[in-house]
Amino acid sequence: MRVGQELGLEEAELQNLEVAALLHDIGKVGIPDAILRKPTRLDPEEYALMKRHSEYGWAVLRMLPGFERAALDILHHHESFDGKGIPRGSRTRKYP
């Protein structure tokens, strides 16, 4: 929130940021516990499933009135500026 304030985000944007920060991993409810709690490195199939957690979170929250913007932030919370993020590996936001 402090970073958002320093960036000059408006109050509504700060509220969406707070919701997204609190709920960013909510999509992990769709990931089997065996994968979430695995003490060793995930195999490629498990990792592919784990990478879907942001999509799962977006799919749930986008249906709730007032959470549409936070849902988009959750969808993209693992994107990187270098183009290697997930789920899309994009440099800029490309909303579904």
Asked, for residue 37, whether it belongs to a domain, the answer is: yes
Number of folded domains in the chain? 1
Q: Is the pLDDT of residue 63 over 80?
A: yes
Asked, for residue 70, whether it belongs to a domain, the answer is: yes
pLDDT tens by residue, 9-47: 999 999 989 999 999 999 999 999 999 999 999 999 999
Q: How confident is the model at residue 95 (pLDDT cuts 50, 70, 90)?
A: very low
Q: How confident is the model at residue 89 (pLDDT cuts 50, 70, 90)?
A: low
Give the range of the structural domain holding residue 46, as residue numbers without chain letter. 2-75
Asked, for residue 29, whether it belongs to a domain, the answer is: yes
Is the peptide bond between 87 and the residue preceding it cis, with omega within 30 degrees of 0?
Answer: yes
Asked, for residue 83, whether it belongs to a domain, the answer is: no
Asked, for residue 85, whether it belongs to a domain, the answer is: no
Asked, for residue 86, whether it belongs to a domain, the answer is: no
- Give 5-74 as a DSSP string: HHTT--HHHHHHHHHHHHHTTGGGGGS-HHHHT-SSPPPHHHHHHHTTHHHHHHHHHTTSTT-HHHHHHH
Asked, for residue 26, whether it belongs to a domain, the answer is: yes
Q: What is the pTM of this model?
A: 0.78
